[in-house]
Amino acid sequence: MPARTTVMFALVALPAFAASPGPIEAHYECSTGTRLSATFSSPTVSPGSVILVFAGARRLIILPQVVSADGGRYANSDMEFWIKGKEATLTREGKRETCHTD
């Protein structure tokens, strides 16, 4: 009688590691000459936020994402930054300016 050989297979499931998208940075120039950098939180973070750094300023402003029917809207009681595509509207101190990025 021939010898029996037992072969065992082990199936191991390895998790798929997909790189999650990180923060997105964009630079804007506005109609009144204001220049700013905007760093948007990762799309996987909820609720989202944006960090605004104005050229020549030493402080940054963090705005939480708020409900918007169209585009991305970030606001607090003092400021609003509303983006759609490469255009944005910055409202602060009751004054509105149009901004764009490349």
Domain locations in the chain as residue ranges: 24-100
Q: How far apart are CA 76 and CA 61, in angstroms?
A: 10
Looking at residue 101, the DSSP 8-state letter turns out to be -
Q: How far apart are CA 38 and CA 49, in angstroms?
A: 10
Q: How far apart are CA 17 and CA 75, in angstroms?
A: 34
Single pTM value for the model: 0.76
CB atoms within 10 A of CB 83: 21
**24-100 topology per CATH:** Lipocalin (2.40.128)
Taking alpha carbons only, the member of 72, 75, 76 closest to residue 88 is 72
Position 3 scores a pLDDT of: 56
Give the model's confidence band at 41: pLDDT under 50 very low, under 70 low, under 90 confident, else very high.
very high
